[in-house]
Copies of this chain bind each other. A is one copy, B any other.
Amino acid sequence: MKRKLTLKSIAKEMDVSISTVSKALRDSPEISEETREKIKAYAKLYNYKPNNIALSLKNRKTNTIGVIIPQIVHHFFTTVIRGIEAEARENNYNVIICLSNNDFDKEVLNMELLANGSTDGFILSVSKETMQKEDYHHLNEVIEQGMPVVMFDRVVEGIPCDRVLINDTQGAKKGVTHMIRSGCRKIGIITSEDYVSVGRLRTEGYLDAHDDFGIEVDENRILKLDNIDDLDESAKKRIKTFIENNDLDGLFTVNELFAVYAARVIAKAGKTVPDDISIVCFTDGELSEHMMPSITAVSQHGEEMGRKAASILINKLERPEDETEEYGTSYIETSLIERESTRKLNR
């Protein structure tokens, strides 16, 4: 086993002091041209690379971003990570990803772990449980210690940090408006309870769209489920009853899964999409793209979101004592991807 080179081992080999080696490698004029070249040649030959850990300790800077997300088995988060990764890499930052599994304790644990020197800052989307508990001491703690935090997608109020958000309200409004324009008048929505911020905002967009066209909203056409992340048996049952008991000609859902399952119920009921009922869902993932019929979707541009979040964080990290204590909220615009589940507009 070949041991890794260190300044010390090089110094010993070349019979100079450690600081001479360090300075030579950093092209310090304090070291003679001759010695410098000799040391650099040696270092290159044996492929010396400084130890990151030692550098982190010395510089009190890890050049690492901690990312904490509820789930990774989720196309949206996956695309966000990709964006964060890309932006980080371009700026010479590492990325450590931790999953909270929507569990409050795990979120706290992960943050504490990473906060003890492993990362310079955080990008996170808070877990559902955290939102319910409204306990943000772990966030405030790391911020208090001077580590900047950028929240994305699932954000909470009252934390001194930057935010990157999908324009959820407008996205939902775009989708619902599209259906209204195509002639739908009895549009239902499958969304989440209001404590999940994205659910609440998308419901708002749904209402806004109706408002714009002066269409009254029937409360029965709004289904609020507990969980926005997955589709359990109880959710399936509620969606089934919801579809069966409502005479809808349009359906908006806050995620793909709900749309896909609803499509199943609709097909079983002998109705066709989009002739009898149109469908639009939030999130442009693989499901909506490949379903038959494919589903018109509000694309979230996750990668762009990830890049934005990373870029904001890195900016804060690079100019540390620029403590203006000002925090902003950036919005990522959505776009409507028209597919087979909605009727074409005749413009």
Contact = CB atoms under 8 A, between A and B. Distances in A.
B53 A117 contact: yes
A113 interface: yes
Interface stretch (A78-86, A176-184, A214-222): A78-86
19 contacts: A2-B144, A3-B145, A3-B146, A49-B112, A51-B57, A51-B116, A53-B62, A73-B79, A75-B286, A85-B98, A89-B106, A94-B98, A95-B96, A95-B97, A286-B287, A287-B287, A287-B290, A290-B291, A291-B291
B57 A116 contact: no
Interface stretch (A201-209, A244-252, A257-265, A329-337): A257-265
A94 B50 CA distance: 22
A14 interface: no
B116 A99 contact: no
Interface of A: 1-4, 47, 49-54, 56-57, 62, 64, 72-73, 75, 78-79, 81-82, 85, 89, 94-99, 106, 112-118, 141, 144-146, 257, 260-261, 263-264, 267, 286-287, 290-292
A175 to B, nearest CB: 20
A73 B78 contact: yes
Residue of A62, A260, A267 with most chain B CB atoms under a 10 A cut-off: A260
Contacts of A89: 106
Max chain B CB contacts within 10 Å: which of A50, A99, A267? A99
A98 B115 CA distance: 20
A-B pairs with lowest CB-CB distance, top 6: A53-B117, A51-B117, A52-B117, A260-B290, A49-B116, A1-B146
A82 B72 contact: yes
Nearest to A92: B113
Given A85-B97, A95-B98, A96-B97, 19 more contacts: A1-B146, A2-B145, A3-B145, A4-B145, A47-B141, A52-B116, A53-B53, A53-B57, A53-B62, A54-B57, A72-B82, A82-B99, A85-B99, A94-B96, A96-B96, A260-B290, A261-B290, A287-B290, A290-B291
A122 to B, nearest CB: 14
A161 to B, nearest CB: 14
Given A49-B116, A96-B95, A117-B54, A292 B290 contact: no
A106 B118 CA distance: 23
A207 B133 CA distance: 56
A149 to B, nearest CB: 14
A171 B47 CA distance: 43
Contacts of A2: 144-145
A319 to B, nearest CB: 15
Given A287-B287, A290-B260, A72 B81 contact: yes
Contact of A75 (B3, B57, B73): B73
Contact of A78 (B72, B96, B106, B115): B72
A192 to B, nearest CB: 19
A143 to B, nearest CB: 9
Nearest to A294: B264
Report which residue of A3, A4, A115, A261 has the largest number of chain B beta carbons within 10 angstroms of its beta carbon: A4
A145 B52 contact: no
Contacts of A116: 49-52
Contacts of A49: 112, 115-116
